[in-house]
Amino acid sequence: MGKHSKQKRVGGSDQNPTGLGPREWRARVESLLAAGKTRAAVEAAKQLLKQTPGPEAEALTVTAYQGRIQALLASGMPKEAQALGALVSERFPAYKAQVAPLVHRRRAAPARAGGDPHSRAD
C-alpha cells in the first residue's frame, strides 16, 4: 500500500492565475498571507517577481517569505525557518536586516522555555 500524503499541493488556479496586474498580485499575496496560506503566498509573490521584476515585487516577495518563516517557527520548525531565512537573505541582501531578526529572535526560545533545543517531538 502506498504512503498517504499529508500535505496538499498548491492547485494550479491558486499558484498561477493569469491576467493579473501588479495591484491584483499584491492583493492576492496579502489575502493569502491573511488566510495563513504562506506557501501559496510565496509562490504567488515569486510569480509576480518573474512577471514584473522590480523593487515593489521584491518587497512583496520578501514580505511573503517573512510570513512563511513566521509560520514555520509557529509550527515548531526553527531549523527550516533558519534555512529559509538564510536563503532569503542571500537572494535579497537589501532585506537581510528585516529577515534576520525573525530567525534569531525565535532560535533561543526553546532554551528559555526549559526544553531541550535539540530534541524533536516528531
pLDDT of 112 reads 40
Tell me: pLDDT of 45 over 90: yes
> Going from the N-terminus, what domains does the chain have, and what CATH number goes with each?
21-108 (1.25.40)
Grid cell for residue 2: 502506498
The CA distance from 8 to 5, in Å, is 7
Tens of pLDDT, residues 97-118: 888 787 775 544 444 444 444 4
Per-residue pLDDT tens digits for 51-89: 889 999 999 999 999 999 999 999 999 999 999 999 999
DSSP class of residue 114 equals T
Q: Which of 113, 47, 27 is nearest to 78 (CA)?
A: 113
